[in-house]
């Protein structure tokens, strides 16, 4: 369990977020969770990584049943992390798209900020 984390956009207006939504079939859940934990363990070693949360759908019309949010300290940190993650995946032979396809998982992956004017 991670320590509590507060998103303070006033104090830290440059926070960046990687928000990924997944539709994970029950038959693929175990392998997906294993990969997610492995990837999180790597992210925790990357400079600028602040926090990670996973949400599981309890109700609603969306097709996605799991959503992950990774919080980064700046646009520079999240950009550098993307390169490090790509190199890490290559070093362990992990092909994200091939794995999602093999497991029957659909995903919506993206980078976000939180504009103060919209809060």
Q: Where are the domains of the chain?
A: 16-112
* Short-list 34, 11, 52, CA closest to 92: 34
Confidence of residue 1 (pLDDT cuts 50, 70, 90): low
Confidence of residue 2 (pLDDT cuts 50, 70, 90): low
* Short-list 65, 78, 83, CA closest to 110: 78
If you average pLDDT over every residue of the chain, what do you get? Answer: 94
CB 74: neighbour CB atoms within 10 A? 14
Segment 28-60, tens digit of pLDDT: 999 999 999 999 999 999 999 999 999 999 999
Average pLDDT over residues 97-118: 95
Average pLDDT over residues 92-118: 95
Give the model's pLDDT for residue 66: 97
CATH number attached to the domain at 16-112: 3.30.70.100
Give residues with Cβ within 8 angstroms of 103, minimum separation 6: 24, 25, 28, 31, 32
Give the model's pLDDT for residue 3: 74
Angle (nearest 5°) at CA 17 between 37 and 106: 60
Segment 78-89, tens digit of pLDDT: 999 999 999 999
Residue 45 CA to residue 42 CA, distance in Å, equals 5
Given a cut of 70, whether residue 100 has pLDDT beyond it is: yes
Handedness of CA 87, 92, 95, 96 (dihedral sign): negative
């Amino acid at each position: 369990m991670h320590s509590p984390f507060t998103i303070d956009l006033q104090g830290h207006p440059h926070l960046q977020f990687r928000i990924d939504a997944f539709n994970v079939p029950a038959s693929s859940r175990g392998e997906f969770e294993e990969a997610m934990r492995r990837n999180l363990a790597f992210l925790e070693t990357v400079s600028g990584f602040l926090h990670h949360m996973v949400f599981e759908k309890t109700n609603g019309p969306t097709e996605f049943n799991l959503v992950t949010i990774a919080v980064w300290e700046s646009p520079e940190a999240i950009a550098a992390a993307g390169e490090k993650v790509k190199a890490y995946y290559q070093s362990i032979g992990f092909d994200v798209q091939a794995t999602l396809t093999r497991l029957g998982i659909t995903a919506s992956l993206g980078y976000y900020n939180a504009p103060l004017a919209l809060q």
